[in-house]
Amino acid sequence: MIRVGPKHFGGSVCDSTGNTLSSRHTLRARHPILIIFPDGCHHVSSLIKDICKLPYFSRVITVIRSTITFFHQSHHGISSFAVARKDLKTGRALESIGKTRFATMTYSARSIQRNIPAFRRIFTRENLTFEHQDLFDDIALNLETSAANIDAMQFQMMLGKLVSIGMPSARVLACMELNYTTAGDFYLLWHAMVNAILDVIQAPTSRWPQDVQDAVRDIIAHRHSQIFSVGGNLYTPEYLVAAYLNPGMYFDLCRVSES
């Protein structure tokens, strides 16, 4: 930076690990004219990671990991899955849970969800044994026997909850990675994401346990205060300023606040 010349730099963005956070503070102190942004994408990713770590989701995530591993290691399972996906047109294949990809748990859960018809067909027709195969049974009530697989119903319900609470973050991350997304956009996208997540957990028909709702709100409040509240370890006013100084965005904010 010294070789190129600080005057040629307008700002800096980096994630918030220990070393980069310290470097960001040092850079701001040495060159106060620079606009220093914490990485909004990493911050959104950290929020959804925190939510996925709640004990409420531990069981469904265990099944997701086991299912993906089984269909990546079983030769019979791999070939049968490819045929079933093609015949049933379920879309993309399974997506592994990675360590660095943003919203990886949401994408993996969604891949399991959309391929349930393929799993159901495989376990019904093929001679395959998988410890969790009963969880992919048809959850429709059999009117003749009045029987239903309660475990399958609970698993598929929890899978749906995991997807629904993660999709707002995944959509925001997709928007954030566009070439023309601005700092002001992040301010709006963050608040839209928070509102969407709260809508998910507060929907009266979804029946989220109160302690889980409280835990999600605590996570949101913590991550929000980190970056938007004075005193937060990642606090910066630049995102709000960028939204305020955008005339079209400013008037949109005013209309929302008035309504």
- Looking at this protein, which amino acid is placed at residue 197? I
User: Does pLDDT of 57 surpass 80?
Assistant: yes
Question: What pLDDT does residue 8 have?
Answer: 74
Task: Report pLDDT digits (tens) over 181-227.
Answer: 888 899 999 999 999 999 999 998 888 999 999 999 999 999 999 99
Name the pLDDT band for 85 (thresholds 50, 70, 90).
Answer: very high
Nearest residue to 120 (alpha-carbon basis) of 137, 142, 144: 137
N- to C-terminal Cα separation, the chain: 47
pLDDT value of position 114: 93
Q: Considering only CA atoms, which of 2, 7, 9, 12 is closest in space to residue 36?
A: 12
Q: Which residues contact 24 (CB under 8 A, 6 or more apart)?
A: 12, 14, 16, 36, 38
The pLDDT value recorded for residue 89 is: 92
Which of these ranges, 83-87, 241-245, 251-255, has the smallest mean pLDDT? 251-255
pLDDT band at 250 (very low <50, low <70, confident <90, very high): low
The pLDDT assigned to 36 comes to: 76
Among the listed residues 62, 122, 70, 113, the one whose alpha carbon sits nearest the alpha carbon of residue 92: 113
Higher confidence at residue 73 or residue 9?
73
Query: What pLDDT is attached to residue 100?
Result: 75
Q: 26: burial class by Cβ within 10 Å (0-12, 13-18, 19+)? A: exposed
CA–CA distance, 68 with 31 (Å, rounded to integer): 48
Q: Where are the alpha helices (DSSP H) in 145-209?
A: 150-176, 183-202
Helix (H) or strand (E) holding 83: helix 75-88
The Cα 139–Cα 160 span in angstroms is 13
Q: Residue 255 — very low, low, confident or very high, per pLDDT cuts 50/70/90? A: low
What predicted TM-score, i.e. pTM, was given to this entire model?
A: 0.84
- At 118-172, the pLDDT tens digits run 999 998 888 888 899 889 888 765 545 545 578 888 999 999 999 999 999 999 9
How confident is the model over 4-51, as pLDDT tens digits? 877 777 776 766 666 666 776 777 777 777 777 888 888 999 999 999
Whether residue 225 contacts residue 232, with contact meaning beta carbons closer than 8 Å, is answered with yes
**pLDDT value of position 200:** 95
Q: What is the pLDDT of residues 94-106, one digit of tens each?
A: 898 887 788 899 9
- Whose tokens are 């839209």? That residue is 192
pLDDT at 161: 96
